[in-house]
Amino acid sequence: MINLKPIEIANKIIELSGINVFENSRMRKYIEVRSLLTYLLREKLNMRWTNIALFYTKNGKPTTHATTIHSCVDYKMHRAHNKKLKEIENMFLFKSDLEYDEIDRIHYLENKCNNLEKKLQKPVIKLINSLSSEKETLIEKEIPKIIKGWEWKNKLNKT
């Protein structure tokens, strides 16, 4: 079995069909070959709809997850009318344990970590982190009092 990346699959389909799946065209031959690629990405690589749409967009073919769903659903109909699609589909072998959702989770967690690191760079957080543990405990007790004082002042200003 072969481990293939989405771009490798796309490039091979382009090579075999002679049709650039990333070309922004509504001609039937483009739609059919794009539906083959979408089908392989979803059914064989287990990619999420949004990630398939992002893959197309990243490669110059703007699309949405709804369009990718429609394309994948229509693939069986296209395959029934265009025997070349089935021939190309059969040229691909996939390793069954390949999960792109894991890559998505890693990407999500990396973004989460980056956002947390940015929050830690805020001056207030830096100030608190620079305190000794004794003063940190003292501040933890004082902050709720300060917040209550602000709430009280806000109530007075509203009346």
Q: Where are the alpha helices (DSSP H) in 2-132?
A: 6-17, 28-39, 49-58, 65-81, 83-90, 100-120, 123-129
Question: What whole-number percentage of the chain has pLDDT above 90?
Answer: 50
85-104 residue pLDDT tens: 999 998 887 765 545 566 56
CATH of domain 6-98: 1.10.1750
Q: Which of 79, 84, 56, 86 is nearest to 68 (CA)?
A: 56
79-90 residue pLDDT tens: 999 999 999 998
Provide the residue ranges of all domains of the chain, joining segments of one domain with +: 6-98, 130-158
**Whole-prediction pTM value?**
0.60
Distance from chain centroid for Cα 60: 16
37-57 residue pLDDT tens: 999 999 888 899 999 999 999
User: What pLDDT does 98 receive?
Assistant: 44
DSSP element (H, E) containing 42: none
